[in-house]
Chain A
Amino acid sequence: MNSSALPTASRPGFLARRRRAYYFFAVPALVVVGAVIIFPWLFTVWMSAFDWRIGSVAHFVGLENYVKLATNKRFLESIVHTFYFTLLAVIFPLILGTAAALIFHREFPLRGVLRGIFTMPMMATPVAIALVWTMMFHPQQGVLNYLLSLVGLPPSLWVYSQSLVIPSLVLVEVWHWTPLVMLIVLGGLAALPTEPYESAKLDGATEWQLFRYITLPLLAPFLIVAAVIRTIDALKAFDTIYVISQGGPGTASETINLYLYLQAFAFYNVGNASAVVVVFFVIILALALVLLHVREKTKWV
């Protein structure tokens, strides 16, 4: 740009030209995103139409991989496991995170430090934490069974039991991610108006009524954001499940992601795994959209 052509907003085309210049700033990032994110998306959809194991020749099979999945008992069970895990891993962090946020919203000594400690789990490396939980779950030497015995409860098999493995894994997930819900809700609490409370208190409302009829409805948008994020993350949970139970015992905790991992990197069944990815993504997208739709509705409550 030379100085004789001083840029002013009145010059037609100047803004458009500047806008185009700004787009150039995004080009390197778009190249990278195209290579490592968009290309894999397209490649996955493409590969899902082939019967292909790494090391052998690919055959085009159209929608056959999807048709097979629809009747694959193990895959369908993995969907059920995923939903069960997700339901628990959304509800408990939401309840506990909201309770924690109500606590941390108040002033008390050492609040900053304690909040810092409370939020540490969500940044801790999942694999490292999963190892520690594996030792804590140990039926004979584990510290959890010792704690149960202290309060007079019988020992549990935890992740070694078909029926308890998913709730046990949820326990780890709750430990990890309740702080995230807390932080989102805490942000919501900080943004609450004070007037409704003042007038309700004048009318003699109890603490519980204040929470139930003022705080909760005003927090709804934040709770739904938290629910969307928890849902996406719980559906995608992998590290802790893989390290602690490997989908077992048997296939009792085999979620979609675990099934996907086996298909792709134990059996190198790329075609089938790609079809799983596509179905998996559609499930995630659908659930996220449903929750966002709920959010649109709650705006008017």
Chain B
Amino acid sequence: MKKERGQAKTMIIDRTPWIALIGIVILLVLPVFIQSPTFFQFMILILWYAYLTTSWNLVGGFAGVLPLGHAAFAGIGAYASSVLFIHYGLTPWVGMFAGAFLAAIVGIIVGAPTFKLRGAYFALATIAICEFLRVILENTQKFLGFDINGARGILLPLKGHSPINYQFLDKRYYYYIILVMLAIIFYITYRIAQSKLGYYLTAGGEEKEGAEALGINVAKCKLIAMAISTFFTGLGGTFYMQLVHYIYPRGIVSLDLSFEIAFIAIIGGRGTLLGPIVGAVLLVPAAELTRTYLGGSYEGVHLMLYGAVLMAVMLFKPRGIMEPLEALYRWVHGKFFLQPLTQTDRGE
């Protein structure tokens, strides 16, 4: 890590490896203390969302645009790996990379013209692409000889406890898989944020013309970010498929999921390393708990809270929850470590 190149978006970035390491260690040993499958199901959801939002953040956060159709790439990943599994018996452990590569290729094809658009146009284009893919999937029974089954979707043949086929009866396996996946995407995001690419992305997102004047190929940087982001989103789609064993177009290639991903990342803090994870850790349980306790008795109340939280964050902390968290950290730092932070620490 060369500090002078470290174009930290936030000052926490310098401590991020430590925070992340501690988090991962805690999450790794957690199953020793807690056995409840409900808890794992719950943690898997949080980690899955954290994973998807971290992948999203590469484009939505660092590249400074607002993609609202990322569910499409999760869908591509899930469909591709499942179709290969059903037709050729190819294990999803391999199939998921095929799906992810396909997602990345589509991501590049889609990204090339889309990145020329700005702001609202970009957001609308990604929405339209996601919906377009859903319509195609819903209306296609067979594609290149593979059964897509249109709106009915694909059922994964159940193999019981079969690690070779990415199917487990015990939730803990899924928990560890998604934890490792999250660690990987987090590490990659961290390295990108430290690299030239991360710097170019940030610069291209904020001052496109200026960056171009300096000779940075902004479009190429964004495409690289898009490819990485969609690749990992595709892997996340396969994970979802292996967890649920069933997929249909509206169930995954939906604006609901696309918006959720964007919401969580934005509430947590776009373009920060920890923001998407913080967002997922706070929002997913909030949504789950309100749904669990209120959903059954009062129709729609959990969604009301969800909308209200989103509005409140936008009104009071438009840069996401990471902003007050950083302030808190700075305060704690000053209070207990008695060393004032230097300018470079703040990354300004």
**Bound pair (A, B):** no
